[in-house]
Amino acid sequence: MNSRIRVCLLGAGRAAKVHANSLVAHVPAGELVAVVDPEEEVLQTTADEFGIRGRFASLEEALEGAEFEAVVITSPTFTHKDLAVAAAQARKHILLEKPMALNLEECDAISAAVEKGGVILQLGFMRRFDPDFTSAAERIRAGEIGQPMMIKSLTHGPGLPPPWARDLRTSNGNIAEVNSHDWDCVRWLVGANYQRVYMQVANFKGEARGVDTENYYDNALVNIRFENGSLGSISSVCPCDYGYDARVEIVGEKGIMQIGELKGQAVVVCTNRDRGLVTPIYGTWPQRFEWGYIREMEHFITCIQTKTQPKVGGEDGRWAVAGVLAATKSFLEERPVYMQEVL
Amino acid sequence: MNSRIRVCLLGAGRAAKVHANSLVAHVPAGELVAVVDPEEEVLQTTADEFGIRGRFASLEEALEGAEFEAVVITSPTFTHKDLAVAAAQARKHILLEKPMALNLEECDAISAAVEKGGVILQLGFMRRFDPDFTSAAERIRAGEIGQPMMIKSLTHGPGLPPPWARDLRTSNGNIAEVNSHDWDCVRWLVGANYQRVYMQVANFKGEARGVDTENYYDNALVNIRFENGSLGSISSVCPCDYGYDARVEIVGEKGIMQIGELKGQAVVVCTNRDRGLVTPIYGTWPQRFEWGYIREMEHFITCIQTKTQPKVGGEDGRWAVAGVLAATKSFLEERPVYMQEVL
Amino acid sequence: MNSRIRVCLLGAGRAAKVHANSLVAHVPAGELVAVVDPEEEVLQTTADEFGIRGRFASLEEALEGAEFEAVVITSPTFTHKDLAVAAAQARKHILLEKPMALNLEECDAISAAVEKGGVILQLGFMRRFDPDFTSAAERIRAGEIGQPMMIKSLTHGPGLPPPWARDLRTSNGNIAEVNSHDWDCVRWLVGANYQRVYMQVANFKGEARGVDTENYYDNALVNIRFENGSLGSISSVCPCDYGYDARVEIVGEKGIMQIGELKGQAVVVCTNRDRGLVTPIYGTWPQRFEWGYIREMEHFITCIQTKTQPKVGGEDGRWAVAGVLAATKSFLEERPVYMQEVL
Amino acid sequence: MNSRIRVCLLGAGRAAKVHANSLVAHVPAGELVAVVDPEEEVLQTTADEFGIRGRFASLEEALEGAEFEAVVITSPTFTHKDLAVAAAQARKHILLEKPMALNLEECDAISAAVEKGGVILQLGFMRRFDPDFTSAAERIRAGEIGQPMMIKSLTHGPGLPPPWARDLRTSNGNIAEVNSHDWDCVRWLVGANYQRVYMQVANFKGEARGVDTENYYDNALVNIRFENGSLGSISSVCPCDYGYDARVEIVGEKGIMQIGELKGQAVVVCTNRDRGLVTPIYGTWPQRFEWGYIREMEHFITCIQTKTQPKVGGEDGRWAVAGVLAATKSFLEERPVYMQEVL
């Protein structure tokens, strides 16, 4: 067997814990040796929970104080570029959470550093590793539903994102933070790049929740035309309150395919004929994509061990960011935007 | 077009209203001209609701006071034999609600009178006309799942039946009143007669609802061996409170088939991620078998007009009664009972 | 009881037969006395099938040759205005199939004639009478999912429409012929008018099926902003080949609601573990909206008898046409179109 | 952290691989150090696949040649007693696959050795660790559906079991080998012991597959009365060919609960409106109970580390065997059997 790949988490928040759990409990080929977070309490809590020895306030300190081959970046989007570039320069392999970065210049800087550093860059699009989605993708590739003509992808998240994640200046808002997965998904499943993008937004809950950020929206509906003529939509509702919801529906020349469902557990109960049947819903993304996160980490570690390129990398991350930029421009300028305007 | 078949309802209760609705609103070839019920208030209410002119306290009076070609018998089981025999003697065609009668002697008396009268006898097994069940039956006959090896049929009803319907002496209890449909269904779908029957019962809610009838039960589980070696079960829960539930599951040599579902409407709602998805359930049997009742009546009227035998008749009704008798004997004597013991 | 309302069908094609069936078999308060169609063979076939005595080549002949109080217009869209106006002038009540007409001028002409004639005009939006949709609408009105924020409605039809129905000049194409129901549905369920509309289209199957009509499309995706700030989408795929598909999903401030489903029958079969579970799908719109068509006709006849306005009338039909015009303008000019540009 | 628990597999077949996978990939607190199998090829293949160093032909050799704290017994049922007793005597903790043993004497011998050895005995009833089943059990315990009145549990397996597993003398047949989980499940979920058992069996496929074992059956239907008056059924079909199927339905005084479903993946496809919607089914038990097997192993290792009794032990295994014995006696003697006859 290959020797275990030592990993340092950059960021100790919620997503970091999901990856820590994969490394500690389900990916024995990886070894979680260090974690970095500038917030001392978050750092210690996560480190304690997963028994991580190396605890650092910055990547620089971690590079000095611990030995590892790879990093997993889960810090806020506006920190991605600097951290990823620094990690690549230090020749650490990178699993980078979505969205890749704030803009294409940052994406390009990351990719350049990764290439120069000779390291692996895998984007955190875990749907590419979810059993439902991967099986669906294979069946589409095999021609089962024919050429995709129309794809609809949605991600609705239950709770209000943190301030930085709903401010266009620090994150590009929900269509980036919540829906990066959809941008990647539709491109992956249709097998073509976006050509033209149109987005309309709405703000229904902001005021009641004390959000006064400029251009804030909590609902967005994107209309996409792909280079191959296919049509697509992405819908974003966050906070939707009712649960975590991630589904895709594709109509191909030969048929229809639905991926995912609202139901979160195969337990149905009825105790009141006026209320009806009750079935659990997915409440959170770690719950919905439990296996996706494990398989994603396995893939990352295996790619490092076998020196192969991951199935989803910088180019995919960059396209998702480009879609976000075009969609944002579209809603601000109230018109469809061609990708060449932002690429 | 043939002239319309004039119908007289014998019984004006809940089942009568379902048939009245079919005749008045959905089966123009039938004409509802009279209704009989000894209870004046029930009689007038139903007659008013459906605009029925002829209103009588007894079949005898109706025979004198109105002209009609057919009767629909929905009165309590213990009245079936006398009413059906009298109707047949008066040369009226008969749609007879389940169960056919209290015992095989009564069944035989009905069949003899029907034959002598030269009239049509159709049993009220409306599942034979439900779109789900008829489609399923055709697919089984066509060999899609192979020879049925095991069949499970259930009917769970929401509310406590009336006193006569839960007393073995006036009705044979739930396994007859609630589950006659299952007895017919399993025989129809398996395509074989019962050979041996075993039943266990339980009484969970009787005391709380003030039922002290001897041998009362509200749960029953029947185990059947068919003459062709197939196995089957019937489950009965009434009052189940949670809704109206009628489903069948069959495993054949080549595959499995499920007929029916708990869901009563294609509207799914989630407003609380801790509670989950909520879907309406069927609340009542008229709601679940809306089309079954209409198609059943169409079939009856058509059979009369075309002088053809209905798809489900006295022999089917008699077998269902025989199954009930064997099952009742089984639970009272705590042993499996062969059909020849009761036939 | 009120005397029966005599009805004349204008058009004897597929939709006419659906309405004929409702009148003949399920709405006894209506009486189908005449049918009009310029195509002799279609006329005779439909008239024979439903036993209709009055058979005419034109409305004028029917007005002379038969007595009736109401018409049901199911002829091609480009004939709607002239027929509806003539019927209204002859003081016949009108059930008018969707889309109402080709443009707003025609809509206005119809409404003016209807008002002047003092007759009832009901639009053929049968989803307003479907049990799933009506129950959903009531629950939305009652506030169960809160204010609708985003609504997605789709209608995908199996087969290639006739030439006139896919040519913008005679019909406004699929977004009118296939998706009028969606236009009405989203407005009805959201409870607000469209403010701005954007549509992208695609043509995937036209060439293979020999369609060379200018501006032909077989896929369309509409993005709607409503006057109350809600967002919406309509998706159109026709021919989709895989079945008849009509579903709506709504996210409100308090939760999500799904109306309709792909499954067309509650029979599930598995005979091959590599293929999986198989469930029937709805194949056609008369099958999916069986009860909707019956209830729609009951409502029409009842409104005539009771002299009340139908739940869905000319104003609703006009809005659907306006949406179609804005969406068509949007895809031709490749930009979002405000409703005031077409109203 | 506690030191890792070293484990030796007794048996290297299919079930052994499932447990090996849990230990190697998902339960870092366990360490798979040895495997025992008398069949050299099976031994080497499994050991190679999971990189297990210690490879032995017998438990005795393993005890001499390797150090470990625990064993996982997955060998045929008729070997359970000797292996478990020997392991207990050597003071090894035991995870014992179902069924516990061939008869109650063997069960008692195992329990006595376990007690004397001061070791932990956990039975391999992985449904107790499946997320659906555990959640359901908690909700039942919390009273959500009230007192269970009727429970139906089924396990249908796709392929023909090996000769020893279908011969009553070496295994007690399908009702033990396939349905031990159901016996445990119904007792666990109802919260009461069996009082009386009745079973009917059928043999539909034996001849075609060359099985001439005496008393062989491939279909069985068990009727159970519990000590608290509840009713239950267990259904067994193996080989059922159509997939792996494990579901439970419970009617309680307050409502109904369904656990599990046929659907094996949330991907729905329709490419043919005459065929309908197609959804993957579970094909195998390791696929259906993927998390159940992982959580079961985590529990076993944690119990050893924390010196606590597992949630499911010898008493539970013994009751499942007792149910099997009563059911077998019932079908052979064609009568209901009270548990005291076999206990």
Closest by Cβ to B257, choosing from C25, C268, C272: C268
Q: Are C235 and A201 within 8 A, CB to CB?
A: no
Which residues pair with residue B152 across a beta bridge? B233, B249
End-to-end CA gap in chain C: 43
Using 70 as the pLDDT threshold, list the residues of chain B that sit under it: 1-2
The angle at the Cα of D168, spanning D164 to D171, to the nearest 5 degrees, equals: 50
Size of interface B-D (CB pairs under 8 A): 120
Q: Which residues of A touch C233 (CB under 8 A)?
A: 152, 221, 223, 233, 235
Query: Given CB atoms, is D257 within the 8 Å cutoff of chain A?
Result: yes
> Which residue in C28, C131, C266 is closest to B132 by CB distance?
C266
Q: How far apart are CA C15 and CA B168, in angstroms?
A: 53
Query: Is D242–C279 a contact, with Cβ atoms under 8 angstroms apart?
Result: no
What is the reported pTM? Answer: 0.96
Is residue D301 within a helix (H) or strand (E), and if so which, with residue range? helix D290-306
Q: Strand pairing partners for A268? A: D258
Q: Which of D208, A15, D331 is nearest to B231 (CA)?
A: D331
> Residue D156 is nearest to which of B205, B224, B251, comparing CB atoms?
B251
The phi and psi torsions of C16 (rounded to 5 degrees) equal -60, -40
**Which one of A139, A156, A179, A240 makes the best mutation probe of the C interface by having the most chain C beta carbons within 10 Å?**
A240
CB C272 within 8 A of CB B255: yes
Coil/strand/helix, residue D21: helix
Asked if pLDDT for residue A1 goes beyond 80, the answer is no
Residue D108 has φ and ψ, to the nearest 5°, of -65, -40
The confidence score (pLDDT) of residue C1 equals: 47
Note the pLDDT tens digit of each residue in D99-116: 999 999 999 999 999 999
The model's confidence at residue D3, banded by pLDDT at 50, 70 and 90, is confident
Q: How far apart are CA C4 and CA C10, in angstroms?
A: 19
Contact D279 C277 (CB under 8 A): yes
Instruction: Give me the sign of the Cα torsion angle B187, B26, C123, C189.
Output: negative
Closest-CA residue of chain B to C133: B267
Contact B221, D233 (CB under 8 A): yes
SS3 assignment, position D317: helix
D22-55 pLDDT, tens digit each: 999 999 999 999 999 999 999 999 999 999 999 9
Does the pLDDT of residue D137 top 50, yes or no? yes
pLDDT tens sequence across B47-105: 999 999 999 999 999 999 999 999 999 999 999 999 999 999 999 999 999 999 999 99
Test A273 with B281 for CB contact under 8 angstroms. Answer: yes
**D76 has a chain C CB within 8 A of its CB:** no
B288 within 8 A of B156, measured Cβ to Cβ: no
* Predicted pLDDT of residue A2: 61
SS (H, E, C) chain A: CCCCEEEEEECCCHHHHHHHHHHHHHCCCEEEEEEECCCHHHHHHHHHHHCCCEEECCHHHHHHHCCCCEEEECCCHHHHHHHHHHHHHCCCEEEECCCCCCCHHHHHHHHHHHHHHCCCEEECCHHHHCHHHHHHHHHHHCCCCCCEEEEEEEEECCCCCCHHHHCHHHHCCHHHHCCHHHHHHHHHHHCCCEEEEEEEEECCCCHHHCCCCCCCCCEEEEEEEECCCCEEEEEEECCCCCCCEEEEEEEECCCEEEECCCECCCEEEECCCCCCEEECECCCHHHHCHHHHHHHHHHHHHHHHHCCCCCCCHHHHHHHHHHHHHHHHHHHHCCCEEHHHCC
Residue-wise pLDDT for C100-145, tens only, equals 999 999 999 999 999 999 999 999 999 999 999 999 999 999 999 9
Minimal CA separation from C224 to chain B, in Å: 23
Q: Which residue type does C336 have?
A: P
Contact B25 C24 (CB under 8 A): no
Express each pLDDT in D196-249 by its tens digit. 999 999 999 999 999 999 999 999 999 999 999 999 999 999 999 999 999 999
Percent helix / strand / coil, chain B, rounded to 5: 40, 25, 35
Chain A nearest CA to B162, separation (Å): 20
Q: State the Cα–Cα distance between residues C333 and D331, nearest whole angstrom.
A: 77
User: In the prediction, which pLDDT does D2 show?
Assistant: 61
Between D242, D273, D277, which is nearest C270 by CB? D242
Alpha carbon of D265: minimum distance to chain A alpha carbons (Å): 6
DSSP string, C296-342: HHHHHHHHHHHT---SS-HHHHHHHHHHHHHHHHHHHHTS-EEGGGT
Predicted ipTM?
0.95
Nearest-Cα distance to chain A for B174, in Å, is 21
* Bridge partners, residue D194, by sequence: D226
Residue C3 CB-half CA count within 13 A:
4
Say yes or no to pLDDT of A182 above 80.
Answer: yes
Q: Tell me which residue in D131, D260, D265 faces A132 most closely, judged by beta carbons.
A: D265
Query: What residues of chain C lie within 8 A of the CB of A242, using their CB?
Result: 251, 254-256
Closest by CA position to B267, among listed C248, A237, A153, C127 = C248
Bridge-based pairing of strands B256-259 and C267-270 is: antiparallel
B195 inside 8 A of chain D by CB? no
pLDDT per position as a tens digit, C63-84: 999 999 999 999 999 999 999 9
DSSP state of D191: T
Residue B206: its pLDDT value, please?
Answer: 96
| Burial classification of residue D22, based on how many CB atoms lie within 10 Å of its CB (0-12 exposed, 13-18 middle, 19 or more buried) | buried
Residues in B touching D251 (Cβ below 8 Å): 156, 219, 237, 240, 242
Beta strands, E only, chain D: 5-10, 30-36, 54-56, 70-73, 93-96, 121-123, 148-156, 194-202, 219-226, 231-237, 245-252, 256-259, 267-270, 277-279, 337-338
Instruction: State whether residue B278 sits within 8 Å of chain A by CB.
Output: yes
Name the 3-class secondary structure at D51. coil
Cα separation, D234 vs D221, in Å, equals 6
Check: CB of residue D126 under 8 Å from CB of residue D184.
Answer: no
User: What is the pLDDT at residue D1?
Assistant: 47
Which residue carries 């069944």 as its tokens? B107
Q: B254 — contact with chain C (CB < 8 Å)? A: yes
Contact D233 B221 (CB under 8 A): yes
- C10-36: per-residue pLDDT in tens? 999 999 999 999 999 999 999 999 999
Q: Name the residue facing A221 among C150, C241, C258 (closest C-beta).
A: C150
> Beta-carbon neighbour count of residue B207 at 10 Å?
10
Option in B156, B225, B334 nearest D251 (CB): B156
Hey, which chains touch D, using 3+ CB pairs under 8 Å?
A, B, C
Q: Is D158 helix (H, G, I), strand (E, B) or coil?
A: coil
Cβ burial A86-119 (10 Å sphere, 16+ → b, else e): bbbebebbbbbbbbbbbbbebbebbbebbeebeb
Please give the average per-residue pLDDT across A220-224, as a whole number.
98
Distance (Å, rounded) from C-alpha B219 to C-alpha B156?
9
C315 interfacial to chain A (CB closer than 8 Å): no
Residue found by looking up tokens 């199927």 in the block: D245
Interchain CB distance below 8 Å, D24 and A25 = no
Tell me which chain D residues have a C-beta less than 8 angstroms from the C-beta of B229: 202-204
Strands B121-123 and B231-237 turn out to be unpaired
Shortest distance between the Cα of D206 and any Cα of chain B, in A, equals 11
Q: Can you tell me the mean pLDDT for C235-262?
A: 97
CA atoms within 13 A on the CB side of C306: 10
Which pLDDT value is given to residue A3?
86
Q: What percent of chain D has pLDDT over 90?
A: 99
Angstroms from D231 CA to nearest CA on chain B: 7
Cβ–Cβ gap A267/D132 under 8 Å = yes
Rounded Cα gap, residues A255 and D341, in angstroms: 59
Contacting chains of C (3 CB pairs or more, <8 Å) are A, B, D
* D233 within 8 A of D221, measured Cβ to Cβ: yes
Tell me: the pLDDT tens digits for A140-174? Answer: 999 999 999 999 999 999 999 999 999 999 999 99
Alpha-carbon span C336 to C1, nearest angstrom = 53
pLDDT digits (tens, 9 = 90+) for A22-51: 999 999 999 999 999 999 999 999 999 999
Q: How many CA atoms lie within 13 A of C137 on its CB side?
A: 17
Q: What is the mean pLDDT of residues A326-335?
A: 98
